[in-house]
Structure formats: C-alpha cells, structure tokens
Amino acid sequence: MNPFALQPLAGPLPRLSALAKAIFLICLSLAAMRLDLLPLSLLFILILALGGLMGLRLQDGVVAGRGLVILAAFSALARGLFPGDGRIFAVESLGASTLYALRLGTVFVSARLFYASTRLSELGDYLSAGFRVLRRAAAFPGARKRDRPPSLASDPGMMLSLSLVFIPRAFESYRRIRESAENRGFGAGKKRLASGAALLQALIFSSIKNSLRTAEAMEARAYSPGRRIILPRIRPADLLFVAFGLALAALAFLGT
C-alpha cells in the first residue's frame, strides 16, 4: 500500500481541517529539531502509537522509510569516521547521530500521518483563498478592475496541491513499476545497479507522463485560476489543535 496515500483512518484526526493539521505539522517539526533525546523519543513513540490506533500499518512506513535509514547511517558514518586523533571511528559521535536520526524519523511519521488523513486540495484552497484576501486588501481603493483573465499566479493553492500530491503519486508509480519488473523477472540477476538505474529512469518518465496527463485533465475540465472556492468551517477542535501545536513548539524552544 502507498504509505502517503489518503486512507480511511479512525479517530477525530481525519475530521480536522487541513489548515489546522498543516500548522500543527510545522510546529511539531520545529519542536522535533529542538527537543533532546528523551522527550523526542517519547514524542516519536506517541506518534507511532497514535498512527497504529488510527489504522496506519507500521510495515508500510518501514518500507517507505528505507531512504531515511540510509541517510541516517551515512550521516553517522560521516560524523564519526576518522576523528583526527588516530582512531578510525569516534564512538561518542553516535549520540548526536542517534538524535539526528530520531528527528528525521519523527518528522517522517508525522508527515505520513498528515498525508494519510488530509485531502491536500483542501489545504491548497485555504492558500488560494488567503492570497485573494491579501490581494484585495492591498489593492488601491477606487482602482478600476482590469478585464484581464486571471493567471495561474492568482491560484497558488493549486500549485501547492499539485506539489504535495507529487509524493504519494511518485510512491504509487514506483510500486507499480517495481511490481511489473518483478513479474517480468527484471533485475533478478546480478546487475542490481543497472536494474536500479533502469527503474529510476522508468520512474522519472512515468512522473513526467503523469504530470502531462494531469495538465490535460485540468484543461479538459475547463480549469480556471478564478475558480470558486468553498472552504469548510473552522471548528473549535481545529483551534484547539493549532493551540496545542503552538504550545509544543513554544515549550521546545523555551526549554533549550
């Protein structure tokens, strides 16, 4: 299963607004970059437990997190290799490397929970609506409106939605390409590097093709940057969630 695809999760998180969840994710990411090892470990375990209770499969996240494991291992090796005192590796550097890996893991599992419970188009609608309000507020009073068709720059939320949806689509494309290659026996030999490069080439080609297909679909549906936007109502639970995220970030910065 695509670990970043929208999933039918249990609990109140899917019912919260995309804006509240995005603000909370930003606050949590900032806090994760400031917390020490013990509170960060507790936060990481708490997010994993919440994801499991809501229905996220842990094994899907493990498969998607292989890149993070490789990055964390390379960082640990580069940090402690040949410290300059005659040793080959500085064992004391493993503490900082572990903290770095845990920070990456916390942000990763939080982002995965955000993707699995959020309609990304809703977040883009908030951005476009806010941009339109700011543009009207910055317009000169009494200025005449030009009869010029709106450009794509007047709908930044659509560009944001397309950018965010690229991650789950890339994972889905890679899954299909890998399964097709395995069914055809491709990459079963010893030339794994060459087969991996071929899969990467196929993934890039598939991503470009999907982008062109998305553009054609938007044109066929008569997309206009001046589209009508209907935003969901902000509820008290959304405000409480944002306040909790801001408090978490404030405690992390004040405690360091």
Report the pLDDT value the prediction gives residue 20, as an integer from 0 to 100: 95
Report the pLDDT value the prediction gives residue 249, as an integer from 0 to 100: 94
Q: pLDDT tens digits for 22-47?
A: 999 999 999 999 999 999 999 999 99
Q: Within 10 A of 217 (CB to CB), how many other CB atoms are there?
A: 10
Share of the chain above pLDDT 70, in %: 88
Q: Which of 29, 22, 98, 112 is nearest to 65 (CA)?
A: 112
- Return the domain boundaries, the chain: 16-122+234-255, 156-224
pTM higher than 0.95? no
Q: pLDDT tens digits for 124-177?
A: 999 999 998 888 888 655 545 555 666 667 888 888 888 888 878 887 888 788
